[in-house]
Amino acid sequence: MVPPVTRDAELISDLYNVVLVFAVIIFVLVEGLLIYSVIRFRRRSADEMPEQIHGSRAFELAWTIIPAILIAVIFGLSVDTLGRMTARGTLSNPVAHVHAINDVAARQRVERAQPVDLVIEVIGRQWVWQYKYPGGDGVTTSEELVVPANKNIRLDMTAADVIHAWWMPELGPMIYVNPGEMSYVWFNVPPGDYIGQCNVYCGVAHARMISRVKALPQAEYDEWYAKQAATSSAATRPGDPEIGKNIFLNGSCIACHYIEGTKAQGRVAPRELTRFAGYPTIAQLDGFENNAENLAKWLRDPQAIKPGTAMPNLNLKAQEIEDLVAYLLTLK
Amino acid sequence: MASISIPIPLRERAKSGLLGWLATVDHKKIGVMYMVMSFFFFIAAGVMALLIRLQLAAPNLQVVDPNTYNQLFTMHGSVMIFLFTIPMLVGGFGNYFVPLMIGARDVAFPRLNAFSFWITLGAGLVMLLGFLFGARSDAAWTAYVPYSTKSFSPTVGMDIWLIGVILLGIGSTLGAVNFLVTVYSMRAPGMTAWRIPMFVWAMATTAGMVLLATPVLTAALIMLVADRNFNTQFFTTNRVQLWQHMFWFYSHPAVYIMILPAMGIISEIIPVFSRKPLFGLRAVVISTVLIGLLGFTTWVHHMFVSGVDPAIERFFMFTTMVIAVPTGVKVFNWLATLWGGSLNLKTPLLMCIGFLGTFVIGGISGVMQASIPIDQYVHNSYFVVAHFHYVLFGGSVFGIFAALYYWGPKITGRMFDEKLGKLHFWLMLIGFNITFFPMHFLGLQGMPRRIATYDPGRGWEAGNLIATIGAFILAFSVLVFIINVIKLRRGAPAGDDPWEGNTLEWSVASPPPEYNFLEIPTVESDRPLFDARMRTPHV
Check which CATH number belongs to the domain holding A114 and give it.
Answer: 2.60.40.420
Chain A interface mutation, best of B275, B374, B441, highest count of A Cβ atoms under 10 Å: B374
Nearest CA to CA, how far is B68 from chain A (Å)?
9
Same domain, A69 and A19: yes
Cβ–Cβ contacts within 10 Å for residue A190, how many? 10
Q: Would you call A275 an interface residue with chain B, using a CB distance cutoff of 8 Å?
A: no
CB contact at 8 A, B288 and B257 = no
Same domain, A108 and A80: no
Residue finishing a domain among A208, A231, A254:
A231
Chain B contact set for A204 (CB, 8 A):
66-67, 70, 138, 452
Q: Which domain holds residue A148?
A: 95-231
Averaged pLDDT, A282-303: 88
In a domain, A45, yes or no: no
Q: Percent of chain A at pLDDT above 90?
A: 48
In a domain, A3, yes or no: yes
pLDDT band for B391, please (50, 70, 90 cuts).
Answer: very high
Q: Would you call B282 an interface residue with chain A, using a CB distance cutoff of 8 Å?
A: yes
Residue of B nearest to A170 (CA): B446
* Peptide bond between residue B460 and the one before it cis (omega within 30 degrees of 0): no
Same domain, A264 and A227: no
Q: Give the integer Cα–Cα distance in Å for B342 and A80.
A: 47
Beta-carbon-side half-sphere exposure of residue A218 (alpha carbons within 13 Å): 7
Chain B contact set for A201 (CB, 8 A):
70, 139-140, 144, 147, 449-450
Three-class secondary structure of residue B435 per DSSP:
helix
Chain A contact set for B452 (CB, 8 A):
204, 206-207
Q: Cβ of B361 and A27 within 8 Å?
A: yes
Q: Cβ of A195 and B373 within 8 Å?
A: no
In a domain, A301, yes or no: yes
Residue finishing a domain among A199, A231, A263:
A231
Backbone angle region of A286, left / alpha / beta, with phi > 0 → left and psi within -120 to 50 → alpha: beta
Same domain, A74 and A127: no
Q: Would you call B61 an interface residue with chain A, using a CB distance cutoff of 8 Å?
A: no
* Residue A256, pLDDT score: 87
Q: Would you call B283 an interface residue with chain A, using a CB distance cutoff of 8 Å?
A: yes
* Residue B15, pLDDT score: 65
Q: Are strands A128-132 and A118-125 parallel, antiparallel or unpaired?
A: antiparallel
Nearest CA to CA, how far is A221 from chain B (Å)?
26
Could you report the per-residue pLDDT of B67-98, keeping only the tens digit for each?
Answer: 999 999 999 999 999 999 999 999 999 999 99
Q: Percent of chain A at pLDDT above 70?
A: 95
* Residue A304, pLDDT score: 85
* Residue A306, pLDDT score: 87
- pLDDT greater at residue A105 or residue B249: B249
Long-range contacts of A302-310 (CB under 8 A, 24+ apart): A309/A283, A310/A256, A310/A268, A310/A269
Residue B3 predicted with pLDDT over 70: no
Range 99-158 of A in CB contact (< 8 A) with B:
99-100, 126
Could you report the per-residue pLDDT of A242-272, keeping only the tens digit for each?
Answer: 888 888 888 788 888 998 888 888 888 888 8
Q: Cβ of A176 and B333 within 8 Å?
A: no
* Residue B12, pLDDT score: 52
Task: Report how many domains make up chain A.
Answer: 3
Q: Cβ of A199 and B314 within 8 Å?
A: no
In a domain, A46, yes or no: no
In a domain, A186, yes or no: yes
Topology of the domain comprising B23-535: Cytochrome C Oxidase; Chain A (1.20.210)
Residue B347 predicted with pLDDT over 80: yes
Same domain, A198 and A120: yes
Range 429-448 of B in CB contact (< 8 A) with A:
444-446, 448
* Residue B205, pLDDT score: 97
Q: Cβ of B138 and A51 within 8 Å?
A: no
Beta-carbon-side half-sphere exposure of residue A33 (alpha carbons within 13 Å): 17
Rg of chain B in Å (alpha carbons): 23
Q: Which among A51, A206, A210 has the least Cβ separation from residue B340? A: A51
* Residue A284, pLDDT score: 86
pLDDT band for B6, please (50, 70, 90 cuts).
Answer: low
Same domain, A139 and A201: yes
Q: Give the integer Cα–Cα distance in Å for A104 and A108.
A: 6
In a domain, A42, yes or no: no
pLDDT band for A318, please (50, 70, 90 cuts).
Answer: confident
In a domain, A158, yes or no: yes
Q: Give the integer Cα–Cα distance in Å for A310 and B151.
A: 12
CB contact at 8 A, B334 and B405 = no
Q: Cβ of B451 and A169 within 8 Å?
A: no
